[in-house]
Structure formats: C-alpha cells, structure tokens
C-alpha cells in the first residue's frame, strides 16, 4: 500500500476523485480514504496545515495502514529565482527552517537526536525526475513546466516578508522552496523507517505578493503535483 498525504482540500481532491473502490475510516479528526489508484492500493489523507497536523496524521496513517511508501503532495512557495508558478520541485532533502537549537551546538534546523536534513532516497528522486520527463513528452503536463530537485524548508510560517526570507536563506542558502508540512512528514517516516517522497508544485514565489498569488495559482500547482504522483504510483 502507498500512503498519500496532502495538507489542503485543493491538494488532494484530484487524487481522491481518481480513486476507485473507495472506503473511509475516521480516526479522530482525520479521514483515511482507501482504494485503488492507477491499479495500486493506496490510502489518502488530508492532514491539515502545519507541522503538527502533518506529523500526527502521517504517524497515524503509518500505524494503521502500514504503507511501503508515503508520498506528500501539494504546493509550496519558490525561493529559487529561476523557478516560477506551476514548476515542480522534487525534494532531495528537507529541513525545519524555524528550528534553532544552535545554542547547544546543533546545526540550524536540527532537532536534538535527529539529523539536520531528512534525506530522500535517490532511487525515488530519480524515478520522479524520469516520470516528469514522460509526462511532458506525452503532453499530460506542459513542456513549460520546469522540474528540479532540491532542498525544501518547512516551518509554521507563511513566508512572504522579504526580511524573513533573507534571514532564512542566510542559514539555508541551498533551499529552493518553502512550505509547512514536508519536513514533519519526512521526520515521521524516518522514525517509522518508511521511505518518503515529497513533491511540490509552486503556487507562489515567496515574497510580498505570495498571499495573492498562492491562492490564484494553487489549483495549477496542486494539479501538476498530483499528475506526477499518479504516474509514480502506476510505476511503483
């Protein structure tokens, strides 16, 4: 079984509507939707926004459903100036950009007892990259949609103030996008020894216009991410 997690309704609705033979199981505030997607057994969860929701939801999904892989899909804000709305970032590592225990000699973003970066398995990244090429070649996604691998930062902050973005980039200069759940999901998966793949479509370029553009471009970002997730599930 493959677990799929998105934070918001817009990020999971296309995947849910494509599922067959669905059933639901409510656990506390969460609804697990099981069924078939691209011929594979999957369980879909809308976890809600933020790191705590993501971690609790992911841990519950793993405990209840025992997936062999967890895919986190959704939207993010681009930090890399070479990226634009709708581009897809395939994470090769995830950090908490709002964690600071450096006073005790930990690295920026590192929690005690945890690695400074949650690394995504190379075989999953490579498969996602190859799959993006296929989707563009087949016309399912436009050729204009760029896809890159890179570091994603997660935090309980909507990043739009230039001074905050600049301060975070000083600590994490290789960070290419920001969002609010991915590192928590990768963290939970690491604790349970389940591989994770974090995929994001860009709904905004982090800055003063982000509150407007993130709403406008969210459907496109979510669709591009969901199309990639569907094809990965077919191939996995």
pLDDT category, 186, cuts 50, 70, 90? very high
Main-chain dihedrals φ then ψ at residue 198, nearest 5 degrees: -110, 120
From 11, 87, 92, 227, the catalytic residue: 11
Query: Which two three-digit tokens encode residue 73?
Result: 């899909």
Domain count, the chain: 1
Percentage above 90 pLDDT, the chain: 88
Give residue 74's domain range.
Answer: 2-235
Query: Which two three-digit tokens encode residue 59?
Result: 């841990």
CATH number at residue 32: 3.40.50.1580
DSSP-assigned beta bridge partners for residue 152: 94, 177
Average pLDDT over residues 147-158: 96
Please determine, for residue 32, whether its predicted confidence score (pLDDT) is greater than 60. yes
pTM above 0.85, yes or no: yes
Q: What pLDDT score does 161 carry?
A: 85
Q: Please state the residue numbers annotated as binding site for substrate.
A: 77, 159, 180-181
What's the chain's length in residues?
Answer: 236
Task: Average the pLDDT over each of 51-65, 159-173, 188-202 and give the range with the smallest value.
Answer: 159-173
Q: What pLDDT score does 207 carry?
A: 66
Query: Which two three-digit tokens encode residue 147?
Result: 């896809």
How many helices (H) does the chain have, and how many strands (E)? 6, 11
From 10, 80, 98, 204, the catalytic residue: 204
Cβ 81 vs Cβ 42: under 8 Å: no
Q: Please state the residue numbers annotated as binding site.
A: 77, 159, 180-181
* Catalytic residue flag (residue 11): yes
Give, in order, the Cα–Cα distances in Å from 46 to each of 116, 200, 214.
27, 15, 19
Please determine, for residue 208, whether its predicted confidence score (pLDDT) is greater than 60. no
């Amino acid at each position: 079984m493959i677990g799929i997690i998105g934070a918001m309704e817009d990020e999971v609705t296309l995947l849910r509507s494509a599922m067959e033979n669905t059933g639901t199981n409510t656990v506390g505030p969460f609804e697990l939707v099981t069924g078939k997607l691209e011929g594979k057994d999957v369980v879909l969860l809308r976890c809600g926004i933020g790191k705590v929701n993501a971690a609790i939801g992911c841990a519950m999904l793993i405990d209840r459903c025992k997936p062999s892989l967890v895919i986190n899909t959704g939207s993010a804000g681009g930090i890399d100036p070479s990226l634009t709305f709708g581009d897809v970032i395939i994470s090769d590592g995830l950090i908490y950009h709002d964690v600071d225990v450096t006073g005790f000699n930990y690295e920026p973003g590192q929690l005690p007892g945890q690695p400074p970066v949650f690394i995504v398995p190379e075989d999953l990244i490579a498969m996602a990259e190859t799959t993006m090429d296929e989707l563009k070649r087949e016309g399912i996604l436009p050729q204009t949609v760029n896809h890159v691998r890179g570091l994603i930062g997660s935090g309980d902050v909507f990043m739009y103030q230039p001074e905050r973005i600049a301060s975070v980039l000083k600590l994490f200069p290789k960070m290419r996008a920001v969002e609010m759940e991915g590192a928590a999901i990768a963290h939970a998966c690491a604790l349970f020894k389940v591989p994770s793949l974090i995929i994001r479509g860009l709904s905004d370029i982090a800055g003063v216009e982000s509150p407007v553009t993130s709403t406008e471009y969210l459907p496109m970002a979510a669709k591009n991410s969901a199309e990639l997730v569907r094809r990965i599930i077919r191939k996995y």
